[in-house]
Structures are given as C-alpha cells and as structure tokens.
Chains A and B, each alone.
Chain A
Amino acid sequence: MARLNARSIGWHAGTAVTIGLLWEAAARAADSLLVPPASATLAALWRLLAHTEFWTALWVSNQALLVGLPAAAAAGIVVGLALGRWPALARWCDPHVHILLVAPKIAFIPLVIMALGLGLLSRATVVAAFAFPIIAVTVQSGVRSVDPRLVDMARAFCAREAQIWRRVLLPGARPAIATALRLGLARAIAGMVSVELTLVAVGLGQLVLRFRADFDAASLYAAVLVVVAEAVLLVRLATLLEHRLGSSSPMAVAE
C-alpha cells in the first residue's frame, strides 16, 4: 500500500512537472500578455502568499462558500430525497430543477442584486444557486437507484415510512449524497469565483480583476492556482468522504 502511494505520488509529481514544462515552453513561445510562463507564475504565487492582503481576500471569498454551500447542501439533499421518493412530486418539480441546472446563473445576477443587495447574503445565494441543482438531481438519482424490492420487503415486515427512510432509503442514497456533495462543492467554488467577477468584486475576484486590468498575468494565474488548489483539496476530501460512505450498503444496513 505504501509502495502504491509512493508510486502514485511520483506519478502525480511527474505529471505536474511535465505540465509545468509544457506550460513554460508554450508561454515563452506565445509571448502573450495574458499567458505567463509557469516559472513567473510560481514566483508570483510566492509573492502573493507572503501578502496579508491575499489571505484576507481568500477568507472573504470563502465566507460566501461557507454560507452558500451548506445551505445548498441542506436544501439540495432534502429536495433530492423528496423527489426521489415521491414520483408525483418529481413529475411536478423535475422541469424546474432541471431549468435551474442548465440556466446560466450569471444572467440572473441583476435580479439577485435587486432582491438581496450587494452583501454576503447575495454572494452566498449565488454560490448556493450554483451548487443546489446538481446536489438535488444527484441525490434524487441516488434515491431512485435504491432497489425497490428492499422497500417492498421493508413494507412486508410492516416497516413504517420513517423506518423505510432510516433503514433503506437513506443508507441506499448515501453514496449518491456523497457524490452530490462533491459535485456541489466543485460547482460552488466556480460560483464563488464567478460571483466576485460579476456581482461584487471582493476577495480573490477583486484581486483577479485588478491583476487582469494591469496585465499582471503571472499574479492573475497565481490567484487562480490558489483557487484550483483549494478546489482540488476540498474535492479530494469530499471523495474520501464519498468512499467511506459508499462502503456501506443498504442491504447490509437493512439486514
């Protein structure tokens, strides 16, 4: 296992170095205002990490994520479970949830401003709007994928609705819920950055806009690298959670 991990780390490091070298060569060949060499980006990242302004910006950006993602997760899981369990409700709600899934959320930003203003609430709402639909749809699929024979069997043993939920549906949907949270997290991070580039320029979004306006591409990509690193880390944690939750089966729990 340790050897496998070492090999895996080596593989990832090799891939990162190869991408870095290709990036360096491509950027030097392109000689572009907006595509900096990897070496310049890493140098800019080093400078950025040394600034308290950057850490303040990172914290401000993550406030919207910290508020918006749990709200989206709570609402998305509840709605997804309900839609998965009651087909009549799903028939009525499915089109609306799917509209939310595919609608370009940036287009609704003026409405968000009109309704909620320019504070944390509006940013968190946009983050939640990015994450909620994918969470709801994934959880709904998870509930639907639970073997109906398990529900029938539970009913045959006179299980009440609450018991069916507790013993069959929730354990069965658990892997899907973990997947939904992972997908929702990725969407929420995209929303967090989008909202700061379009709605209110605060946090990392404000830094990115300033770097972009100054054609300081190295600093711009350094800020983007931080967002990517945060996203990779959080998605990795979510994947670990997904694996842990996925290891339990509804049958085992039902038994």
Chain B
Amino acid sequence: MTAARIAAWRRTSAGRAGVLALAVASGLWACTAPPAATRRPALRVAHSALDFDDMPSYVANATLEADGYQVEDTSFALTELAVEALARGNAEFASGSVRSFWVAAARGAPVLTVMAQVGNMHRLVVRQDVSGCRDLEGRRLALQSEGAIGTAFVRRYFAEACPKLVPQTVFVPQSENRAAALLSGHVDATVLELAVYHWLDRQAPGRFRVLEDFSTRWPDLIATVVNANSDFAKQHPAAVRDYVRARVLANRAVSADPSLLVEHAKRAFGDSEELASVAKLYGSLQAFDTAGGLTAEGIAATLTFLQAQGELPHSVVPAQVADLSFLVGALRDLPELLPRLAGRWPG
C-alpha cells in the first residue's frame, strides 16, 4: 500500500467513523428523547428559599430539559408557601425542611417525600470561650422559632447532653440576624446552617466555633427533603422517577465537580468569593447524597425524632410521609443511563 493510498484510506476511515459516531449519537438521542407524540408533563419546582441547597435542582434541569420536560423553578420566601404550592398542585415538586412537609402530610396534604435534599447542615455555634454545653448555663441562646427543625435539634441536644441546663432562650427567626446577634455579642450561642457559620467565621476568624455538629450526632436524621405532589405522583410515576433520577445525577455531578455548584450559584446570587469556598465545603462534606439520601432507616429515625420532640403526632407512619419507590427505581435506572447522560452536564 502506497503512502497516498494509506492517507486516502485514513481519510475515508475517519469520515466513516465520523458518520458512524453521528449515527450512534442520533440513535442514542432517539432512544432518550421522547417521541414527538409523547407529551412530557411540565414540572414546576417550588423552593423554600433561594440558597445553596437548591443548586443541584438547577443542575438537574439540564437533564430534564434534554429529556423533553419543561421545568419551571419558583423560590418562595417561606417553606410553608412552598408546601402550600405543592399541596394545592401549583407545583409538582418542592423542597425544604422535613418538619414542614411532614406536618403538612400529617394534616392530610397530598405531599410525599421522594428523596433527601441535602445533608443536615445545622450546627450549634458558640463563642470560642464556651467549651461545653454546661458553659451555657444562664447565657443567651438564639433559636430559630418554635416549629423550626433547628430548634428541635438544639432542644434534643440539651436534653441529652445537659438535661438540667437552662439557657436563656431568645427566638430570632432569620439566620443572618442570629449571626449578627452572635457577632455583636448579644447572644452566646445559636443554631446556624453551615454556610452561614462559614460566613461568620470569615467575618470574625477564631471568635466562634461549632459546639455540636448535628449531622454527626444523629447521622440518620434527614433535615431537608425533596417532595412530590402525591396526586401527581400517582398520575405520572415515570415523571417523578425521571425527576428523582435527574436530581441524583445532579448530586453526583456536583459532588464530583463542586465548580458546577459555583457556576449555578453565580447565576442565582451573583459572583462572590464566598461561593467557591462554600461549594468546596459542601463538596468536602458530600452534602448532596449521591444515592438520594433517603432510606427506610432514615425515614423511621426522623419520624421517631420528630414525634419524640412533639413536632408530629405519634399516629403518623412512614408511608404517610415518604415513598422510597421512586428513588429505588431511579437508582436502578442509573447504571445503564449514566453513559448516555454523562455528556449532558453543563460545563
């Protein structure tokens, strides 16, 4: 074979390979994309607030939209409004505090937890001179509000660690206000989400520390959840499974590459130095569970915890508040889908 013929053969082979690759890609697309006649339901996603915990949801939108879903996100100022939107069918999915969604489910609202949103990010943050819970005797402790999951964590912690302790409790609903109170010395301890603590630590390095990390104290407890409208889930189980699968894939993607979180957070909050370090922190903690974070043990432990704290009636059973089948189905789908979906992540 002459050099010219070899070169011509190579060109032809490359061309054939290109055509073949295109054909395979088109075939794969045809397999994964819905036929024109198949109508995917629109997915409206309600967020309790626009914060870092919601970023995988935005990452998941790319997969869902490639699968033919139209996704519309709405951020509410209150978890209760997201719950209401879900319960009334104004949203198909909603995420936020487990307590809010389960209290609503216990009241008969058609809401069902389908996966965990993010790991337990609540921390009991104290001034540096507080070495243990006994040091908080008579000192000021800022809690969120009655009915907040963070308040339940702190109360349980004191009941277990320092049962006779009586700190002066003051309720400060917003985390940035609790951080401001801690920073200005008006309180000695408070419950904060990890991202807020991180901000606080950058404002006043070394002045505060985490006295208790609730995620390690009670590793089975689920703090925040992703929920589906149960009527929608009955009518469109495949869509719920697709959504859960997309969210799990998003969790895997952001865990592998925290810069994805930063990219989406920049779009949501604007550029800031803080974002990269918080994303790194979330990545290092594997905050977004790559298996969806919802287990039968976790549901049972969280239910028992909330019931013991008087937050939920004892009559509530796991089937009333959560359904694992969508997550189990989505996880079963993943090994075969991963190669096809791998190229779809933005960035």
- Contact surface of A with B, Cβ cutoff 8 Å: 30, 32-34, 109-111, 113-115, 117-118, 197-202, 206, 209-210, 212-215
Contact B147 A199 (CB under 8 A): no
Shortest C-beta distance, B94 to chain A (Å), equals 12
Of B49-57, B176-184, B248-256, the stretch lying at the interface with chain A is B176-184
A33 and B146 contact, Cβ closer than 8 Å, known pairs A206-B171, A213-B100: no
Contact B184 A209 (CB under 8 A): no
Contact A109 B147 (CB under 8 A): no
The interface residues of chain B lying within 8 Å CB-to-CB of A202 are: 171
The verdict on B186 contacting chain A, using a C-beta distance below 8 Å, is yes
Contact B184 A34 (CB under 8 A): no
Contact A198 B174 (CB under 8 A): yes
The interface residues of chain A lying within 8 Å CB-to-CB of B104 are: 33, 215
Query: CA A198 – CA B187 in complex, angstroms?
Result: 16
Contact B171 A113 (CB under 8 A): no
CB-contacts of B45-64 with A (<8 A): none
The verdict on B109 contacting chain A, using a C-beta distance below 8 Å, is yes
Count chain B CB atoms within 10 A of each CB in A115, A201, A210 and give the residue with the most: A201
Interface range on chain B (Cβ under 8 Å from partner): 20 to 34
Query: CA A132 – CA B187 in complex, angstroms?
Result: 29
Query: CA A202 – CA B172 in complex, angstroms?
Result: 9
Contact B107 A210 (CB under 8 A): no
Shortest C-beta distance, A104 to chain B (Å), equals 13
Contact B176 A110 (CB under 8 A): yes
22 A-B pairs within 8 Å (CB atoms) are namely A32-B88, A33-B109, A34-B84, A109-B177, A110-B177, A110-B180, A111-B180, A114-B183, A114-B184, A118-B140, A118-B170, A118-B187, A198-B173, A201-B171, A201-B172, A209-B145, A209-B171, A212-B78, A213-B100, A213-B103, A215-B80, A215-B83
Partner of B186, one of A34, A113, A201, A210: A113
Contact A117 B186 (CB under 8 A): yes
- In addition to A33-B83, A117-B186, A209-B146, 18 A-B residue pairs with Cβ atoms within 8 Å of each other are A33-B80, A110-B180, A114-B183, A114-B184, A118-B170, A118-B181, A198-B177, A199-B172, A201-B146, A201-B172, A206-B145, A209-B147, A209-B173, A210-B147, A212-B78, A213-B100, A214-B103, A215-B80
The verdict on B148 contacting chain A, using a C-beta distance below 8 Å, is yes
Contact A201 B173 (CB under 8 A): yes
Query: CA A129 – CA B331 in complex, angstroms?
Result: 54
Contact A206 B146 (CB under 8 A): yes
Partner of A117, one of B80, B88, B147, B184: B184
Contact A210 B177 (CB under 8 A): no
The interface residues of chain B lying within 8 Å CB-to-CB of A110 are: 176-177, 180
Partner of A213, one of B109, B145, B180, B186: B145
Contact B184 A113 (CB under 8 A): yes
CB-contacts of B304-342 with A (<8 A): none
The verdict on B142 contacting chain A, using a C-beta distance below 8 Å, is yes
The verdict on B241 contacting chain A, using a C-beta distance below 8 Å, is no
Shortest C-beta distance, B198 to chain A (Å), equals 17
Main DSSP-derived SS at the B contact region: mixed
Closest to B145 in A: A209
The interface residues of chain B lying within 8 Å CB-to-CB of A199 are: 172, 177
Query: CA A184 – CA B296 in complex, angstroms?
Result: 55
Contact A200 B172 (CB under 8 A): yes
The verdict on B123 contacting chain A, using a C-beta distance below 8 Å, is no
9 nearest CB pairs, A to B:
A213-B147, A201-B171, A210-B146, A110-B180, A117-B186, A114-B184, A209-B145, A113-B180, A201-B145
Query: CA A184 – CA B59 in complex, angstroms?
Result: 47
Count chain B CB atoms within 10 A of each CB in A30, A117, A209, A213 and give the residue with the most: A213
The interface residues of chain B lying within 8 Å CB-to-CB of A109 are: 174, 177
Count chain B CB atoms within 10 A of each CB in A115, A202, A214 and give the residue with the most: A214
Partner of A33, one of B107, B172, B174: B107
Count chain A CB atoms within 10 A of each CB in B80, B81, B103, B109 and give the residue with the most: B80
Partner of B177, one of A113, A206, A212: A113
CB-contacts of B103-145 with A (<8 A): 103-104, 107, 109, 140, 142, 145
